[in-house]
A and B are shown apart, each in its own frame.
Chain A
Amino acid sequence: MKKRTIFLSISLALMILLSACAKPASPTDQAPVAGTEEEVLLVWDQFYRDEESKVIETLNAEFEAAHPGVKIQREVKVLDDLRTTVKLALSQADGPDVAQINQGRNDMGALVEAGLLLPLNSYLEEYDWGTVFSTSVASRNSFTEDGKTFGTGNLYGVSPTAEVVGVFYNKGIFNKNGWDVPTTFEDFEALLAEIKAAGITPISFGSLDGWNAIHEFSAIQHLLVSLDYINNLTYGVNNVSFDTPENRQAAQILLDWANAGYFSDGFPGIGYDDSNNLFKAGNGAMTITGSWLAPELMVDTDQEFGFFLLPPYEGQTGLAIGGVGIPFAIRKTSEKQELAAEYLNWMISPRAAELWSEAGMLPAMALPEDSKVDTKNLFGETLNAWNTINQANAVGHYIDWATPTFYDTLVAELQKLLGGISTPANFTEAVEADYAAYLQSQSK
């Protein structure tokens, strides 16, 4: 009898355990006690790197200090992790009140379509966010209410950081060889040849991870196309094609660079982080990537680095890939929408701009004029580049937002192009096939 009792109680305990797993106690289950209850704001973000995380911790602490009785419960995840879990979490009644939602159709678009994100238009007016960011920035976080059309309609998120893709260069190598920062694309290509002839890797680059090859190609593409074209392509409007002479030319230039040996030796087998580490250690005169690399290049190195925009063709203007970082959004079913909006406003405050700048990251907001942040460094050079393209209205796009499968298609097709498996014409045709199929599926 005794044994049976033990097993009965074990299985009973197990069942209790399982039912507990199925329905976790949430803070809302607790009976509210008037006056003493803390209001808990659940926030999911993906600023997991040390310097980034410190910025968020500081802002959160200051928010709590300014709002007595409010407690921020923060959950940090790496982006891949956040993306795979946040969608389901936002459909739950105890999900995060505020979460960072990746832009683009698969993430923000899908969540808007499912009716899980709160439109922020009323807060846009209430907090006067129109003075904080431009309409071009706002459109990157906007969708129509059905989640189908990107770049227009309601505002669903606010981005705290900004990004611009350009050229990092090793100042030591440039000075030693008497090279100047090129001001035209013709000069840039001549410089590549000169660096190669000097026995130095001109561009530190590895395509093993794939995604940075999109930036490599698209940075050149941005010099050849108009802002209207890149807007139309990204937002899927006005029926543009990917199979154009300009895109083909950009692919040809990229292929020529690869064939001329301008990229790191064995670049198809080198990952993004490895190529950055090689560059940071002084192997390679330049690397083409986003401003997010600046904080890393400012510490733990004896090399000095600079940043410039990929220069336009002689006598022309060019665009640069750029945009704003992953935005904070509010769960539609959250009971603390007002507080959540206040938190969003806090994340894009002048104080936030200052903290991000100190960390070496571009803020999406303007720095206050009396700011004492040091800009005579690599961060300052990325800030100049960002201001330049904003003033010139030359902020392009990450083209992999264009269709739900564009990222995968671009990565695979660029690796084929660089591997000599396909030609620039094959490349633009294959990518256009993906794009046309998507436009067709949307028009149904």
Chain B
Amino acid sequence: MANVTKKYPGESRWKGWWYLLPALLVYLLFTFLPILETIRSSFYQWDGFSQNKVWIGLANYVELFSDPKFHNALQNNLIFVIFYSLIPILIGLFLASMLSRRPIPGFAFFRTALFLPQVISMVVVGVIWRWMFNPTFGPINSLLRQIGLDVFAISWLGDFTWALPAVGSIGTWVQYGFCMVLFLAGMQHIQDEYYEAASLDGANAFKQFIHITVPGLRSEIAVALVTTIIAALRVFDLVYTTTRGGPGETTMVTGFLIYRAAFTNNRIGYAAAIATVLTLIILVISLFIRRYQQQGSEESA
């Protein structure tokens, strides 16, 4: 005991590593090493189980960039960004500003109810919405028929035009509650004085929203952007449980291509190459948003 208490707090820095060690070990073993292994595998031709593992350099990447299926899937992922990220953030901003400015009876209930989709497993979400969209007995088309809009009662998930927006809108449903709760929390840090001063100067609610609320939520919006864009780019479970990439290839996403390459076509190397490219894209986008957020906070400071 004595030799420890002799030192001043913070003096022996190396001791901190012991506290980090358990988490670090888990991280190294289950996250960092698998990432390195994935990158390494992407330079090989390998079926995933035999001894026959052949170094082929960049051949997987060359094939990938000329693969129209990959282009199509990546494009669909970008469309998913609209549904997973942009629309939920707009809805979230709208709902948050509605709920935060004036007291609403049952506020806690609304907040919980709207956040609920976020805590349901995506597989369950997919199964439920597949039933919702069912053209024969799904509630969406039943409702449309009841109000006389029979022409809109189409087979959503099987329609070449509407399947992608339909699956995308499930993503919107899942994400907007999360954005709303995030923004609600952020709004508590914006001082009421700003709004008072602005209304004294004659700014209407919309102007207050644009010039006070949105800048004040800069870091929350950045967090929402990063998490929802990542969700949009790595989407797999939702597509797997609803359309399996169909009809044709209209809802095919990169996550599903990875699964198919690795587990049905025995092409671990090719799957690893797709995964590596996807990770790089996510990394670049995250860094870009983070930088934008930091620039913003420096400016306002």
- With both beta carbons as reference points, the residue of chain B lying nearest to A14 in the complex is identified as B22
Ordered by A's residue number, 15 sampled pairs between the chains whose C-beta atoms are within 8 Å are: A11-B22, A11-B25, A18-B25, A87-B48, A90-B49, A114-B51, A207-B158, A208-B243, A267-B158, A268-B158, A283-B136, A408-B260, A415-B248, A416-B248, A421-B160
Q: Counting CB contacts under 8 A, is B124 at the interface? A: no
Check A136 for interface membership: any CB of B closer than 8 A.
Answer: no
Interface-located stretch among A31-39, A222-230, A269-277, A337-345: A269-277
* Inter-chain contact B248/A1, CB cutoff 8 Å: no
Q: Are B265 and A87 in contact (CB under 8 A)?
A: no
Give Cα A113 to B49, complex, Å: 11
Closest-CB distance, B49 to chain A (whole angstroms): 4
**Cβ of A114 and Cβ of B136 under 8 Å apart?**
no
CA distance A318 to B245 in the complex (A): 34
Q: Are A113 and B155 in contact (CB under 8 A)?
A: no
Contact B263 A83 (CB under 8 A): yes
* Cα distance, A421 to B29, chains bound together (Å): 48
Bound-state CA distance A115–B47 (Å) is 13
Contacts of A411 in B (CB 8 A): 244, 246
A88 and B49 contact, Cβ closer than 8 Å, known pairs A11-B21, A270-B135, A419-B248: yes
* Residues of B with C-beta under 8 A to A116: 49-50
Q: In whole angstroms, what is the CA distance A84 to B266 when docked?
A: 9
- 5 closest A-B pairs by CB: A268-B158, A266-B135, A269-B155, A114-B50, A266-B155
Q: Mark A237-257, 1 if CB is under 8 A from B, else 0.
A: 000000000000000000000
Q: Which of A83, A110, A265, A270 has the most CB of B within 10 A?
A: A270
Decide if B59 is an interface residue (CB 8 Å cutoff). Answer: no
A106 at the interface (CB under 8 A from B): yes
Q: How far is the CA of A346 from the CA of B1 in the complex (A)?
A: 69
Q: Which residues of A contact B247 (CB under 8 A)?
A: 207-208, 268, 415-416, 419
Question: For the complex, what is the distance from the CA of A440 to the CA of B26, rounded to whole Å?
Answer: 46
Q: Is A209 an interface residue (CB 8 A)?
A: yes
Query: Which residues of A does B touch, CB under 8 Å?
Result: 1, 4, 7-8, 10-11, 14-15, 18, 83-84, 87-88, 90-91, 106, 110-111, 113-116, 206-210, 264-271, 274, 278, 283, 404-405, 407-408, 411-413, 415-416, 419, 421
From B48, B50, B130, contact of A113 by CB (8 A) = B50
B129 to chain A, nearest CB (A): 12
What is the minimal beta-carbon distance from A153 to any residue of chain B, in angstroms? 18
- Supply 13 further A-B pairs (C-beta < 8 A) apart from A7-B18, A419-B247, A421-B160: A14-B22, A18-B25, A83-B264, A116-B50, A208-B243, A266-B136, A266-B153, A268-B247, A269-B158, A270-B155, A407-B264, A415-B248, A419-B248
- B157 near A404 with CB under 8 A, answer no
User: Does any Cβ of A come within 8 Å of B121's Cβ?
Assistant: no
> Would you call B158 and A266 a contact (CB within 8 A)?
yes
B183 within 8 A of A: no
Question: SS class of chain B's interface: helix, strand, loop or mixed?
Answer: loop
Looking at the assembled complex, report how far the CB atom of A431 sits from the nearest CB atom of chain B, in whole angstroms: 13
A393 to B206, CA, bound (A): 77
In angstroms, how far is the closest chain B Cβ from the Cβ of A271? 7
A405 to B246, CA, bound (A): 15
The contact size tier of chain B is 35 or more
Q: Output the nearest chain B residue to A109 by Cβ-Cβ distance.
A: B266
* Complex Cα gap A91–B49 (Å): 6
B240-283 interface mask toward A, CB cutoff 8 Å, 1 = contact, 0 = none?
Answer: 00011111110000000000100111100000000000000000
Chain B: CB-nearest residue to A113: B50
Whether B158 lies near A210 (C-beta < 8 A) is no
Pairwise interchain contact A15-B130, C-beta atoms closer than 8 A = no
Q: Which residues of A lie under 8 Å from residue B75 when comparing CB positions?
A: none
Q: Do B263 and A269 touch across chains, with their CB atoms under 8 A apart?
A: no
**CB pair B265 A114 closer than 8 Å:** no
B156 at the interface (CB under 8 A from A): yes
Chain A residues near B159 (CB, 8 Å)? 268-269, 419
B130, B136, B141: most-surrounded residue (chain A CB, <10 A): B136
Query: Are B157 and A269 touching (Cβ within 8 A)?
Result: yes
Task: Write out the residue numbers on chain B whose beta carbons fall within 8 Å of the beta carbon of A267.
Answer: 155, 158
B248/A421 in contact, CB under 8 A: yes
Whether the Cβ atoms of B246 and A7 lie closer than 8 Å is no
A412 near B50 (CB under 8 angstroms)? no
| Nearest chain B CB to A329 CB, angstrom units | 14
Q: Is the CB of A106 within 8 A of B246?
A: no
CA gap between A415 and B155 in the complex, in Å: 13
- Whether A114 touches B135, Cβ cut-off 8 Å, given contacts A208-B243, A266-B155, A411-B246, is no
